[in-house]
Amino acid sequence: MNLNLFKTYVRVVETQNLSRTAEEFGLSQPAVTKQIQSLEDIFGVLLLERSGRRLKTTEAGETLYHCSREILKAWEKTEKAMEEVAESRKGTLYLGASTIPGQYILPALIKQFKDRYPNVTITMDIADTEKIFNRMAERELDIGIVGGWINNRKVDGFKWLQDDLLVIVPENHSLAKAKEVSLPDLVQEKWIFREKGSGTRKAVEELLANHGIKKDELNVYLEAGSTEAVLAAVESGMGISIISRWAIKRVEEHRKFRSIALVEDDARRYLYVIYPRQKSRRKTVTNFLEILKRM
């Protein structure tokens, strides 16, 4: 049913004048007459009749007038409710993140977003970069923040924040007081690596490869399934690791390890914002992306 028919009809009844209604709506008078006739054909009744120069409603026409007003009020209420969803005052947001952004960066941004849009329901899943990419490709998530880029024709995104890579060693290690160290100096150490699929691991392997060091040549003492597990392993004296600056930004002075800068200029990576490759997004998603772009 065309709502414009009801809008036109209500206004004709209220003005009791076809030409005035036509002028208000920017229509021709024959077009207004045709809309009234369409309603009469739909309901099979006469709605309006002439009384001198003015129109007045029949009994059926009076009934339709009141019903039309209720229909338009209901539609207005519906539009407002949908606008609230579209403007993110309500709605849902499904986030995915690899360990570093998920544990150390996103919580503050989610708080900022929730302060502005308190009625949005947010779900965040943390997994390794590879898994987040796979879930994004299947459109199970709206936005992802990951520690590396994987080419996937179903996923789009952009380079977000720079992340420096630091060496961490146990607090009693011989290098603990050093301000910087080079990769060749670390080759003989016992190493703690993140698990396969981790963005941090991929970044570290690429860094080592760029300087002629193969992971297979290192003494890998442990592969750990999370950043916190890596930190705990280094604290216990199992070995050294290379890790994101974000992971130790606020906690190093309270932990039993020390961080050391690498002399290599390329000891850094970027975090990426990713999302499904599609033409349109919900307003909730767009609003969160705007917060990320302001970082």
Q: Which tens digit of pLDDT belongs to each residue from 95-149?
A: 999 989 999 999 999 999 999 999 899 999 999 999 999 999 999 999 999 999 9
pLDDT for position 150: 93
- Portion of the chain with pLDDT greater than 90, in percent: 76
Torsion, CA 141, CA 146, CA 150, CA 152, rounded to 10: 20
pLDDT for position 151: 94
| 27, 117, 149, 244, 258 from 160: Cα distances, Å | 51, 23, 11, 15, 27
Query: Cα separation of 295 and 286, whole Å?
Result: 15
What pLDDT digit, counting tens, does each position of 12-42 carry? 999 999 999 999 988 899 999 999 999 999 9
Query: Cα separation of 90 and 86, whole Å?
Result: 8
pLDDT for position 252: 63
Greater confidence (82 vs 183) lies with 183
> Is the confidence at residue 174, as pLDDT, over 90?
yes
* pLDDT confidence tier of residue 282, bands split at 50, 70 and 90: confident
Greater confidence (256 vs 273) lies with 273
pLDDT for position 80: 83
CATH number of 91-158+277-293: 3.40.190.10
pTM over 0.85: no
* pLDDT confidence tier of residue 253, bands split at 50, 70 and 90: low
> Is the confidence at residue 50, as pLDDT, over 80?
yes
Domain 3-86 has CATH 3.40.720.10: no
Domain 91-158+277-293 and domain 160-270 have a common topology: yes
Mean pLDDT of 50-72: 92
pLDDT for position 89: 73
Helix (H, G, I), strand (E, B) or coil at 166: strand
Domain 160-270 has CATH 3.40.190.290: yes
Domain locations along the chain = 3-86, 91-158+277-293, 160-270
> Is the confidence at residue 84, as pLDDT, over 80?
no
Greater confidence (22 vs 279) lies with 22
- Portion of the chain with pLDDT greater than 70, in percent: 98
> Is the confidence at residue 250, as pLDDT, over 70?
no
* pLDDT confidence tier of residue 87, bands split at 50, 70 and 90: low
Helix (H, G, I), strand (E, B) or coil at 112: helix
Mean pLDDT of 149-159: 94
What is the helix (H) or strand (E) element at residue 161, kind and residue range?
Answer: strand 155-170
Q: Is 143 left (phi over 0), alpha (psi -120 to 50) or beta?
A: beta
Greater confidence (295 vs 19) lies with 19
